[in-house]
A = this chain, B = another copy of it.
Amino acid sequence: MLTPALLTRVVGAALDEDAPWGDLTSTTLLPADATATADLVAREPGVLAGGEVFATAFTLTDPATVVDLHVADGDAFAAGDVLATVTGSARSLLTAERVALNFTQRLSGIATLTAAYVAAVAGAGPGGKSVRIADTRKTTPGLRAFERHAVVAGGGRNHRFSLSDAVMAKDNHLAVLQRGGRDLATALREAIATLPHTAHVVVEVDRLDQIPAVLSGGAHTVLLDNFSLEDLRAGVSLIAGRATVEASGGVNLDTVRAIAGTGVDVISVGALTHSARALDLGLDVRID
């Protein structure tokens, strides 16, 4: 969720990065009292994310700027649609333009890609069961809250925010737990007993035969990493509702529907945030 504090801090830092001591061009070439109107126009179809971020870039630069959002985060739009209109000082509009676009293009790119994954798995679960598309921690450093917001705008779901708020045990952790021939289920159960009772525990497994011990150890989610479709189906069957089933690895728009068909609950997709391309949005400015 994008709190006012997050918006102010992150967008403010971006504006400072892009104009640490002002916009040399606008202050030199435009009269201080010139006003302008600008339309945010979609150059290609997509799903909006970051409307509030877009607005914040303008109002932090100049509180007198008025931003009218015509489309809400999560809404789909067509090429040519006008998504928002900004009015205010010409200098202020041109100073904030690039930062506003950099955020909105990137976040809308993520929302649009997420929406494609969500559409791909619609009704694909066994018996029409809905499957969740979730993000990962493969986000842009400094922009995690913003990119997670974009995933939700695209119809996706968030995973844990950080290393501090949920547990994810992977191969290395499991190997350590089993040292000295220790029983995995026992070792896992004892470790979980020291955690906050509100801590969700995901355990990643590479093979089907790890599942019984992991369930017995108390995992809340079993993450089946890089499983074949057949093994995913076997895993779902083995887990049988005793934990949430998450799949990851080898997920792309070509494979995701089949993965959803195996009956897993959640498919986590790093590409949502690490490889979405910026959506082509433009600002058409008319100086009065």
Contact = CB atoms under 8 A, between A and B. Distances in A.
Interface string A88-105: 001000110011011101
A175 interface: yes
A106 B24 contact: no
A65 B167 CA distance: 23
Given A138-B98, A140-B102, A176-B31, A23 B164 contact: yes
Contact of A29 (B20, B26, B177): B177
B162 A28 contact: no
A240 interface: no
B164 A164 contact: no
So how many copies of this chain end up in the complex? 6
Interface stretch (A39-47, A116-124, A142-150, A255-263): A142-150
B274 A106 contact: yes
Interface in A7-50: 10-31, 34, 36
Interface of A: 1-6, 10-31, 34, 36, 60-62, 90, 94-95, 98-99, 101-103, 105-106, 132, 134, 137-145, 148, 157-169, 172-173, 175-177, 191, 194-200, 202, 220-221, 244, 246, 265-266, 271, 274-275, 277-278, 285, 287
12 contacts: A1-B23, A3-B19, A5-B60, A17-B144, A18-B163, A19-B163, A22-B163, A24-B164, A95-B163, A102-B139, A102-B274, A197-B221
